[in-house]
Chain A
Amino acid sequence: MADFIKQNAGRFFANNKKGENAELLADLNSEYRDRRKDAVKRVIANMTVGKDVSSLFPQVVKNMQTEDLEMKKLVYLYLMNYAKSNPDLVILAVNTFVKDTDHVNPLIRALAIRTMGCIRVDKILDHICEPLRKCLQDDNPYVRKTAAIGVAKLWDLDQERALENGFVTILQELVSDSNPMVVANAVTALAEMQESSVSKDIFVVNVAIMNKMLAALNECTEWGQIAILTSLADYKPMDAKEAENVCERVVPRLQHANGSVVLSAVRVIMIFLRYIRSEDFIKGLIKKMSPPLVTLLASAPEVQYVSLRNINLILQKRPDILQNDVRVFFCKYNDPPYVKREKLEIMIKLCNDKNIDQILSELKEYASEVDVDFVRKAVRAIGRCAIMIDEASERCVNVLLDLINTKVNYVVQEAIIVIKDIFRKYPKRYEAIIPTLCQNLDSLDEPEAKGSLIWIIGEYAERIENADELIENFLETFLEENSQVQLQLLTATVKLFMKKPDQSQEIVHRVLETATSEIDNPDTRDRAYIYWRLLSTNPEAARAVVLSEKPPISVETRTISPALMDELINNISTLASVYHKPPKAFMGNRAFSADAVKKAAAADARDEEQIIGDAVLDASGAPAPKNAMADLLDLDFGSSEPAYTSPPVSSSKPANNSGPNYSADLFDMSTDMSGSSGNVFGGMGGMGGMGGMGGMGGMGGMQQQQTQHQQQAPTPARNDPFGDLGGLGGFGQPQQQQPTKPTQSSAENDLLGLF
């Protein structure tokens, strides 16, 4: 029964389909031209919506021989679509194609050769060569220009054949054609072929070709101009004079309504600027580039996006461009977020002591928008302005204080994060605002904001009357905090202890004990151990480490390495310039060295978060240069090794005491060490952009190293961090003791047991 229905249903549909196709079939064979044309149109419409009309192939193709151009084109459309699935049938059409390439009407000749090239079927290749050769040498420029692209199509399918038939040579000759459109298409085809060629010698732009291209540049279509400008960028000028000459010829292209023409012209100019020596000439060019770039910002958002990413690059290379145009980068409230972010970046790059007030009032405006992510970026931008422009820092701080007073939670948190950076840049200048910051203590729930405020409290503990209370307040939730906050709390508490030892001895003791005994995170725990040991062996050394001079913070507005920068400038107006990565990093040939990708990605990341210090707040997650750090550790500890060979006079003390004692020399840190350790840590803090928290950053790096070491080390190390540390330091003593030590459950015991 079911079978019966199925059969019937099948027959019904088949009939139906056959019905429609049969009708079309009849119409296609009709003696009336209009009817046939109408039928072909219906066939195309069916084809477009995905119905199978391939069975009509012979009938449709029969209509190819017609004087009606529209009809011909419709049939061609059909052919292109079904050629792939019916390669045998295409041969039916070949004769008509070949005949059409001899037609008196150049339009039909061009159309035939164009369509033949689009039928990507091997069988047609045998028939295309002769007509293509004829068309390449046609009297009519329209046919020649169409044939030029035809060579690229053939090349794509069969490079051998294109070479054997001498098409490449003919195409190279077409670059000297009298008609600019032919030149442009020849350049387009050759550039495309060059890219996929093995020998890379198909299209090398020399002086002669360059002059031909420049001559054609003004007369061809916008798309031709893009092709020519793109190829021009590959030319290496012989001297400054020639580079100036090319720039002069290219400058008028900046005045084009097509954004791609404008950016392609900008690319040529930016590349050729490298060869030009005359300062005045360079200035003139830069001045001419600004207005067209500004105009691009009135285009569609997508075009704005590409423009802004490129302007960002250009500004890093030539900071003197667009100096008076910061207004055009102000955000409209309905700009898409991706446009707003890019505009913000450029506003900061353009920020100087003259326009800072304008920019600040804009940024303040943005801070009241609804897009939280954008608001945060705006607040952060205020901090970056403060760090960039010394004279304006006070105004920036005032704006930030205004924002803190809005009590909008995420604004307050973000503001506190950037104020920490401002404190680092201008130590001791804005202490007066600390009370205001502390008033917002309770509203902080983000680790980074908390960490920032804690850092400020620790750093300025001596100026904050109730610093111990504040720290105490934070410590209540110590164990629940994110590791980033825990690390900050540890450091801040130690700082507090050093600055106000009387008030905080109890606190610091408690924190270190909690951190070493109750926290599993090796970063936090190990940092606590290190502080503990430092404090107990040599408070002076501890002071040198914890309160060391922090490396200066700076806002990097130009974060791309010069080599990558040059490569990106070469790629203005490409996807590379949008991603700010070299083309190989994200496209096609992925056999790109992982290092370079990482480098590019890191550069990009830095570009996004440009306050270097920020990146390393969380030392445990920071991509620190580990090897350098390891070397440093090995080296310096190694060099101080002799110091440890002296008998550990006081090392027995803690064993006598019931608990850890700060005055006790847990480690035999000899005087020799106190001198060198300061240097070690100081040096580490400054090393490799660890920046983050100065001395703390250094410690973080060291811990990271240790963590890594720990993971590699066999099990005892897990319970025996100090033994591990000792091992790291390269002194024999703890290592010798390790085997004698049975594994103990408590870290504290372990610690004592060491000695």
Chain B
Amino acid sequence: MIESLFVLSPTGKVIIEKHWHELIPRRVVDFFNDQVSKAMAEGEDVTREDVLPIIASPKYQLINVYRDGLTYLSPVTKEVDPMMVFEFLHRIPDIMQEYFGQVSETVIKENFVTVYQLLEEMMDDGFPLTTEPNSLKEIVPAPNILNKVITTMGATTSVSTRKMPHGMSNLPWRKAGVKYNSNEIFFDIVEEIDAIVDSTGKAVSCEAHGTIQTNSRLSGMPDLTLSFVNPRLVDDCSFHQSVRFNKWESDKVLSFVPPDGHFRLMSYRVNLPSQQNLPIQVKPSINVGANGAKFDITVSLRNTDGKPVENVVLTLPLHKSTTTLTAQCNVGHSEAAANAGYNIGVEFLINSHSLSGLKVDVLKLFNESYKPYKGVRTMTKAGRYQVRA
């Protein structure tokens, strides 16, 4: 049971609190703040991110998530599934992001009433209730300006305050009577590459985490079947509730009646072999001397099917004791700031490319007579991609 939530500002002040069950006194927040500062005082390199996500206090277990400067703290008194608490706590900023476009102390304060309503709808007596953004948006209207934008864009076709929520139709995720003039569905396949590459350019570990974000604008009750050219690539996957798991097990196709609007159809993981051709190669050469060090980092393109690589960012954190530093780039620009260790963080983005090679084949529609427009976009970008020097 998730009894209470405190959202804390970067300085540890309570921005908003919500008690779904009994009231838990604010004192607990002071204790929590003490523990956090104690943990951070242990070493100069210890940051807020390094503090344990579960802290024991005499009376409560303080389960907390730190995201974008804000702490989402949930003290629990009874044995609980911590994974569930974390999943739930992460939903809160996710949903605020959906609603307000960004999450910060100011945004929460500006939208107190909406946030309060959302927290009320997301949980009943300590048990998660409605956490699906599409359903929530029907119960709690998004703030006005955004609402207006959505209306002008024509996204909300038939929203009325008297409508039944999703949970009440036969398919809990889809409302009845959706109607569009032009029926379209868009699939965004985004792959993030997590990799550790050693100094010789060999991948020590490398995997692609893909998601298929879908925007469905289809009338009626469309029953879709999406197939891939090479579904067996996928090592592990999870689906939106609407996907019929048995069909995937037997035929490796996605068979589903989509929810209306935006949703994540599928996420998947592909283990890439260590001899995988990575899209870019980073060759560091480090010479450390007595009075300083010289880092030469060469970045070159490899294997992108001729697609351009965009937004390449290399981060080379240096030790805190670094006093001066100069950085030069042949292309692009550089910023200098000191921080630790010889590891290079790499970011990049390649449009219309999937590193794993997963490709959508056909989309078939049943149960409705129209012919939908299908749009597929792919994108590969660096996730947690590191080069060791």
Most buried by A among B16, B124, B207: B124
Cβ-defined contact, B125 with A370, below 8 A: no
Query: Whole-angstrom distance from the CB of A240 to the nearest CB of chain B?
Result: 23
Chain A residue numbers with a CB within 8 Å of B127 are: 149, 185, 188, 223, 227
Cβ-defined contact, B386 with A333, below 8 A: yes
B348 beta carbon closer than 8 Å to chain A = no
Given contacts A301-B49, A332-B386, A575-B61, whether A48 and B116 have CB atoms under 8 Å apart is yes
A755 beta carbon closer than 8 Å to chain B = no
Cβ-defined contact, A107 with B113, below 8 A: no
Chain A's closest residue to B204 (CB) is A330
Bound-state Cα–Cα, A223 to B123, Å: 11
Chain B residue numbers with a CB within 8 Å of A142 are: 164-165, 167-168
Question: Which B residues from 175 to 213 make CB contacts under 8 A with A?
Answer: 194, 196, 204-205, 207, 209
Q: Which 5 A-B pairs have the closest CB atoms?
A: A291-B236, A302-B53, A260-B84, A260-B83, A333-B343
Cβ-defined contact, A369 with B341, below 8 A: yes
Cβ-defined contact, B83 with A181, below 8 A: no
Cβ 8 A contact of A327, one of B205, B236, B241, B245: B205
A698 beta carbon closer than 8 Å to chain B = no
Chain B residue numbers with a CB within 8 Å of A192 are: 1
Bound-state Cα–Cα, A438 to B168, Å: 76
Interface residues of B (CB under 8 A from A): 1, 16, 20-23, 45-46, 49-50, 52-54, 56, 61, 65, 77-84, 86-87, 90, 112-113, 116-117, 120, 124-125, 127-129, 131-132, 140-141, 161-162, 164-165, 167-168, 172, 194, 196, 204-205, 207, 209, 235-239, 241, 245-246, 249, 264, 267, 269, 319, 340-343, 345, 383-384, 386, 388
Mark the stretch among A69-77, A497-505, A710-718 that contacts chain B.
A69-77
Mark the stretch among A582-590, A606-614, A683-691 that contacts chain B.
A582-590
Chain A residue numbers with a CB within 8 Å of B81 are: 226, 230, 260, 263-264, 573-574
Query: Whole-angstrom distance from the CB of A355 to the nearest CB of chain B?
Result: 12
Mark the stretch among A334-342, A474-482, A629-637 that contacts chain B.
A334-342
Chain B residue numbers with a CB within 8 Å of A576 are: 79
Cβ-defined contact, A149 with B124, below 8 A: yes
Cβ 8 A contact of A45, one of B61, B113, B120: B113
Query: Whole-angstrom distance from the CB of B31 to the nearest CB of chain A?
Result: 16
Cβ 8 A contact of B45, one of A181, A305, A306, A371: A371
Bound-state Cα–Cα, A693 to B249, Å: 56
Cβ-defined contact, A578 with B168, below 8 A: no
Cβ-defined contact, A223 with B131, below 8 A: yes
Chain A residue numbers with a CB within 8 Å of B54 are: 305, 575, 578
Cβ-defined contact, A141 with B79, below 8 A: no
Question: Which A residues from 377 to 411 make CB contacts under 8 A with B?
Answer: none
Is the interface on chain A under 10, 10 to 19, 20 to 34, or 35 or more residues? 35 or more
Given contacts A41-B113, A142-B165, A181-B167, whether A263 and B83 have CB atoms under 8 Å apart is yes
By secondary structure, the A interface counts as: helix
Cβ-defined contact, B267 with A333, below 8 A: no
Chain A residue numbers with a CB within 8 Å of B132 are: 221
Chain A's closest residue to B388 (CB) is A365
Query: Whole-angstrom distance from the CB of B7 to the nearest CB of chain A?
Result: 11
A258 beta carbon closer than 8 Å to chain B = yes
Cβ-defined contact, A77 with B120, below 8 A: yes
Cβ-defined contact, A73 with B341, below 8 A: no
Cβ-defined contact, B86 with A306, below 8 A: yes
Question: Which A residues from 525 to 557 make CB contacts under 8 A with B?
Answer: none
Query: Whole-angstrom distance from the CB of A553 to the nearest CB of chain B?
Result: 31
Chain B residue numbers with a CB within 8 Å of A106 are: 164, 168
Chain B residue numbers with a CB within 8 Å of A258 are: 87
Bound-state Cα–Cα, A446 to B49, Å: 30
Chain B's closest residue to A49 (CB) is B112
Cβ-defined contact, A44 with B116, below 8 A: yes
Cβ 8 A contact of B86, one of A219, A226, A291, A303: A303
Q: A152-B125, A259-B87 are in contact. List 7 more A-B contacts (CB 8 A).
A: A70-B161, A107-B164, A120-B22, A153-B125, A260-B81, A307-B83, A358-B204
Supply 23 A–B pairs (Cβ within 8 Å), ascending by A.
A44-B116, A70-B161, A73-B120, A74-B117, A140-B168, A142-B168, A156-B21, A188-B127, A195-B78, A226-B84, A252-B249, A255-B239, A292-B236, A301-B49, A302-B53, A330-B205, A333-B343, A338-B50, A338-B52, A370-B319, A371-B45, A571-B79, A588-B78
Query: Whole-angstrom distance from the CB of B191 to the nearest CB of chain A?
Result: 12
Bound-state Cα–Cα, A106 to B22, Å: 27
Cβ-defined contact, B269 with A294, below 8 A: yes
A146 beta carbon closer than 8 Å to chain B = yes
A118 beta carbon closer than 8 Å to chain B = yes
Bound-state Cα–Cα, A130 to B380, Å: 58
Given contacts A252-B245, A295-B269, A365-B388, whether A77 and B161 have CB atoms under 8 Å apart is no
Chain B residue numbers with a CB within 8 Å of A256 are: 238
A117 beta carbon closer than 8 Å to chain B = yes
Chain A residue numbers with a CB within 8 Å of B343 are: 333-334
A750 beta carbon closer than 8 Å to chain B = no
Chain B residue numbers with a CB within 8 Å of A252 are: 245-246, 249
Cβ-defined contact, B82 with A574, below 8 A: yes
Cβ-defined contact, B50 with A118, below 8 A: no
Question: Which A residues from 343 to 366 make CB contacts under 8 A with B?
Answer: 358, 362, 365
Given contacts A118-B125, A192-B1, whether A295 and B236 have CB atoms under 8 Å apart is yes
Chain A residue numbers with a CB within 8 Å of B21 are: 156
Cβ-defined contact, A362 with B204, below 8 A: yes
Chain A residue numbers with a CB within 8 Å of B239 are: 255, 257
Bound-state Cα–Cα, A256 to B140, Å: 27
Query: Whole-angstrom distance from the CB of B375 to the nearest CB of chain A?
Result: 23
Cβ-defined contact, B53 with A588, below 8 A: no
Query: Whole-angstrom distance from the CB of B356 to the nearest CB of chain A?
Result: 14
Chain B residue numbers with a CB within 8 Å of A587 are: 61, 77-79
Query: Whole-angstrom distance from the CB of A497 to the nearest CB of chain B?
Result: 44
Query: Whole-angstrom distance from the CB of B346 to the nearest CB of chain A?
Result: 12
Cβ-defined contact, B269 with A336, below 8 A: no
Bound-state Cα–Cα, A146 to B87, Å: 22
A591 beta carbon closer than 8 Å to chain B = no
Question: Which A residues from 297 to 342 make CB contacts under 8 A with B?
Answer: 298, 300-303, 305-307, 327-328, 330, 332-334, 336-338
Given contacts A45-B113, A301-B53, whether A221 and B172 have CB atoms under 8 Å apart is yes
Chain A residue numbers with a CB within 8 Å of B79 are: 571, 574-576, 583, 587-588
Chain B residue numbers with a CB within 8 Å of A263 are: 81, 83
A672 beta carbon closer than 8 Å to chain B = no
Query: Whole-angstrom distance from the CB of B99 to the nearest CB of chain A?
Result: 15
A450 beta carbon closer than 8 Å to chain B = no
Chain B residue numbers with a CB within 8 Å of A358 are: 204
Query: Whole-angstrom distance from the CB of A223 to the nearest CB of chain B?
Result: 4
Chain A residue numbers with a CB within 8 Å of B117 are: 73-74, 77
Query: Whole-angstrom distance from the CB of B320 to the nearest CB of chain A?
Result: 9
A105 beta carbon closer than 8 Å to chain B = yes
Bound-state Cα–Cα, A258 to B131, Å: 12
Cβ-defined contact, B56 with A586, below 8 A: yes
Given contacts A300-B65, A330-B196, A575-B79, whether A259 and B86 have CB atoms under 8 Å apart is yes
Chain B residue numbers with a CB within 8 Å of A291 are: 235-236, 269
Bound-state Cα–Cα, A169 to B246, Å: 35
Bound-state Cα–Cα, A257 to B342, Å: 34
Chain A residue numbers with a CB within 8 Å of B384 are: 332, 334
